[in-house]
Structure 1
Amino acid sequence: MIAEDYNLQQAQAFYRILEETIGKLPADVREKLYRPSAVNCVKDVVLTELRRQFEECGCDLDRQYAKYNRSEYFFADIVEPGRVYEIGYPRCLCPQVEAGFVNAPTHCECSRQSILYVYGELIPDKTVRVETLRTVLAGDSECRFRVTVE
C-alpha cells in the first residue's frame, strides 16, 4: 500500500510540474498540446449528445440553448442571438482534476479546445472564437467561456 501511495504521489507531482511548464509556453503551443486530449475527451458522448440536441432544434444554437440551457453538467446563456453565447460548467468536470493529477488553471485550455472542437463539428461553415472567462481552477465558482460565432 505504501508503494501505491508513493507512486500516486509521484504521478500527481509529475502532472503538476508538467502543467506548470505548459503554462509558460506560448498560447499557440498550449493550444496544440491540449487539442488532442480535448477532442478525445468529448468526441463520443459529449459531441453525440450536443449534436442530437442541435439537430432536434433545427440546427439552431439559439433554439438549442433556449431549450437545453441548464443541467447539472452544462449551462448556456444567449448573449447576442445567433452570434455570442456564454457556456460552461457549474463545477469542474475534468477527470484529471477529480483524480488529483492537475490543478493549474493552465489545464482549462483543454476545455476551451473541446468547445472549439464541438462547435467546429456542429457548424463547420462558421468561424468560432472561444474566450475563457472564469474557471474553477482559477478560483471561481464555475467555468464560463464566451463563444463568438461569425
Structure 2
Amino acid sequence: MDYREKAVNCVKDTALPVQMQWFRECGSNLEAYCQKYGETEFFFAKVIEPGHVYEMGYPKCVCPEALAGGKDASFCECSRQGMIYVLENMMPQKHIEVEVIETVLSGAEKCRFKVTVE
C-alpha cells in the first residue's frame, strides 16, 4: 500500500489547511506553534530540543479507517506520512524526519511521534 499517497489524500484538505493557519498565526515559528497549539483535543506537540527535535501526536487514534477496525500497527505509517506531509508544507526549506514512538494500534494510550527538523 502507498501510505504516502493515502496520507496526502487524507490530510491535504483537512489537517493541512488548519495547521498551516495555526503555523502562520505563530509567525511560522515551530516553538511558538507548539506552545500555542500543542494541546488540543486532537493534536499535541512539545519541544524536546529547540529548533531540532519535537514530540507530536494524537491523544487518541483519529483515523476513521483505523477506528473502523481490522488494522494493525503497520497502518500507522499513514499517520507518520501525513505528519511529514503537513510539516514539509509548513517548512518547505527544512528536512523533516518523523519516527513512530508508539501508537494506539500498537497498544499504547496515544499516538506519539519524534519529529526531527534539519
- Structure showing the higher strand proportion among its residues: 2
CA distance in 2, matches of 1:134, 1:98: 16
1:48 equivalent in alignment to 2:17: yes
Q: Show the counterpart of 1:97.
A: 66
Is residue 34 from structure 1 mapped to residue 3 from structure 2 by the alignment?
Answer: yes
Q: Which runs of 5+ in 2 are unaligned?
A: none
Match of 1:57 in 2: 26
CA distance in 2, matches of 1:134, 1:145: 7
Q: Does 1:127 align with 2:95?
A: yes
Q: TM-score, normalised by structure 2?
A: 0.96
Counterpart of 2:113 in structure 1 is 145
Question: What's the secondary structure of 2:32's corresponding residue?
Answer: helix
Structure 1 stretches of 4+ with a deviation exceeding 3 A read none
Task: Provide TM-score, normalisation by structure 1.
Answer: 0.76
1:87 to 35, 40, 56: 56
Coordinate RMSD, CA, aligned: 0.9
Letter in 2 for 1:53: W
Considering fraction of residues, name the structure with more helix.
Answer: 1
**Code of the aligned partner of 1:42:** V
Residue type at the aligned position of 1:83: H
Instruction: Give the letter aligned to residue 106 of structure 2.
Output: A
Deviation at 1:72, TM superposition (A): 1.1
Which residue in the other structure is 1:70 paired with?
A: 39
SS in 2 for 1:115: helix
Alignment-derived partner of residue 79 in structure 2? 111
Report percent identity of matched pairs. 49
Unaligned runs of 5+ residues in structure 1 are 1-29
Based on CA coordinates, which of the two structures has the bigger radius of gyration? 1
TM-superposed CA distance for 1:103, in Å, is 2.2
